Structure 1
Amino acid sequence: MNLKNICLGALALSMVSGFAFAGALDEPDNMAPFFTDSSMKTMKPMAEFKTAFMAMPKEKQEAMMKECQDAAMSKPHAEFCANVKMLGGANK
């Protein structure tokens, strides 16, 4: 019985922590407004990027800025994070 409870607890913890690691940059709904195509390969020009970024709720802006400051998170999104960092002072 004890082993079963430990295993169930470990499973529950792994499921909860798995969702915690998904960030704002991993959400397609958050990222789609910044790209011109559905495959999210071509980023919009800076003027349109800024408009999309400023239209987002402040909490999402802050989450994206925070994730772009983390080297591991920002590496796969380098071009996006470069744009976010340029806008960082514009919304404060």
Structure 2
Amino acid sequence: MLPVSREWTFLSNHGHVLVSLARDPEARMRDVAEAVGITERAVQQIVHDLVDEGYLHKSKTGRRNRYRVVAGAHFRHHLEAGLTLGPFLELVNGPRGGADRG
């Protein structure tokens, strides 16, 4: 395993939350916060942003939320605007990627 640098990362917290929810669509905000290394409140705001912008779909199953990443959604920055989330998630999460193809 490669050493982990805590000084900076290639992905923003939004990217980390997206990857985390793609891996575990039923994860609790507390678990995502722990995995990403930010507060639960920060995760809630990021999830709100991602749902509002169409990167995540949120549904309720009983008392739990379930998240589905929209694989066809495009990256926001003009340098990556031609790329969609699906291939990115396959790169970081393996062939299943954790995103739907819609």
TM-score with structure 1 setting the length: 0.30
TM-score with structure 2 setting the length: 0.28
More helix as a share of residues = 1
